[in-house]
Structure formats: structure tokens, C-alpha cells
Structure 1
Amino acid sequence: MDAVKLSATLIAIAFLIAFVVLLNVKAMVISSVNQVFQLKDSLNQVKIRSISSTEHNITLSLSNPFNVSMYVYNATGQYVYLKSPIHVPPMSQGNFTLVITNPKMFYELAQARQENITLYLGIGTFNFTQEVNV
């Protein structure tokens, strides 16, 4: 009986090793980790620039260097909010507007570099937040 258990265990281990070798699990793990690092590095290519402003709003341009869509879902701050969410197609740019609810206080905080705006962005199916100090 012990010989049967030992044989079954050895056969199971052999199948497991063959499975790992056939699927090349190590290469898949390394590839997945590299993709995460490449995404982190490529986020530096995303550019957000101010293109116009009035007393009550700021219009920003978002440059999408990726081959997947980007989204601006929301933007929040002490005295600002996103006028409407936008979709930026791959390899293009789109504009979004931040509405200023209290211009006097917003510009005071901006002068003191204390106005924080949190952007809720998406790249494909990957969502993240980014806090920006104005």
C-alpha cells in the first residue's frame, strides 16, 4: 500500500513539473512583471497642460500616447470640480474643464502652492488617481 502511495505521489509530481515546463510559467511571470514596470515608466509620457483659463474655470489638455483609450472620470479639490468626464481616444488628445467654485480662495491657495487637485484617470481598464499640487 505504501508503494502505491509513493508511486502516485511521484507520478503527480512528474505531471506537475511537466505542466510547469510546458506552460513556461517563469517566462509568463517575468513578462507580467515587465509589463507593470513598462506601464509605470510610460505614465511619464502622459502630458497634461493648461490651454486656457478664466476666473471661473481652467481648461486642460490631456495627451494620450497609448494605443488604448484614456478617461478622465473625475477631478476634485477644495474649490474645483470636473465639469464633465471625457474619453480620449488612443494616440490623440482631449480637453477637460475644471470649474472653480470660489475663485478668490482658489487663487489664494494656488499662490501659496496649497491647492491640491485629485484626478481620477483610466487607461484601458486600469484606473488610478493622481494628486496634483497647483
Structure 2
Amino acid sequence: MSTQRNTPADGFSYTLTRTLDAPVKAVWQAWTIADQYGRWAGAEPGSVAMDVRPGGAWKATMVTPDGSRFPLTGSYLDVDPDRRLVVGMDVPGRPDPAVMTVELAARDGDRTEIVVRQTSPTAEERDMSEQGSTMLLDSLGAFVAGAARS
């Protein structure tokens, strides 16, 4: 995995890049089909709903290893199937959503390069978001590699 971090004038950002052992279509479906997303992202069973289109809403209740539950909501800002997904995540007390961009590209046959980018208003929020995205990519990689083998 490669990681880039920078501090532009408008916030603190990170970029995570990985190559997954699965075709683009499988990675896209894992990220955009509710039951698949719920299995790898640590969501409470039955809590994920996705309307994957620009302006469409999503929600999920995430469960931490200690059993804590965190409801999340947001919307899709841009959707280019099998290529790009821009997700807005609602942040309590803020008028604008946190925005995460996910880009996919085919690599070496049936492998996929995934790039995740996000900018946050503070270094602490960037670090927390980067840690969460790293865990998501770890789990996604394991999920799609297992699905590709079965």
C-alpha cells in the first residue's frame, strides 16, 4: 500500500493506493451492493441501504470490535460505474459532508488498483479518516480476494 499525505491551503488530505486481487467489477460491486458492503465493512447486518446514483442516499450502522455501534449517513456525489465513486458522509454539526473519492482501474489481468482520497479540516480528523480508510481497504482486499477464489 502506498500513502501520500499533504497539507494544502484548504485542509489536510491523504491518498491511499492499493492493488487488489480481484477484477474491477468485483471491487465495484463490493463497494456498491449493500449486502456485500455490509459483510466486509463491519456494518450491523441489515443496516446498510444504498441508492448508488448522484444524489442518492446511503446509510449503515458500523460495529466496532468492542461492540459499539455508530450510525452513518450520506449521499453519492458522483458515480461513474466501475471507475469512480465520490461519497459524501454527513458530519454532525457541519453543514457540508466529508467527501471521500474512490477510483478504480484494471491492472495486470484480473487485479484492480484502488485509490482512496479524502481531505479533512484538521490533521486529527485526517489521521482518524486515514486510519478508518486503511482498515476498510484491508477488509475489502480480504473480501474480494476470498470471493475471487470461490
Do both share a fold (TM > 0.5)?
no
Q: With the length of structure 1 as denominator, give the TM-score of the two structures.
A: 0.33
Q: With the length of structure 2 as denominator, give the TM-score of the two structures.
A: 0.31
Larger Rg: 1
Q: Which protein has greater RCO, CA pairs closer than 8 Å, 6+ apart? A: 2
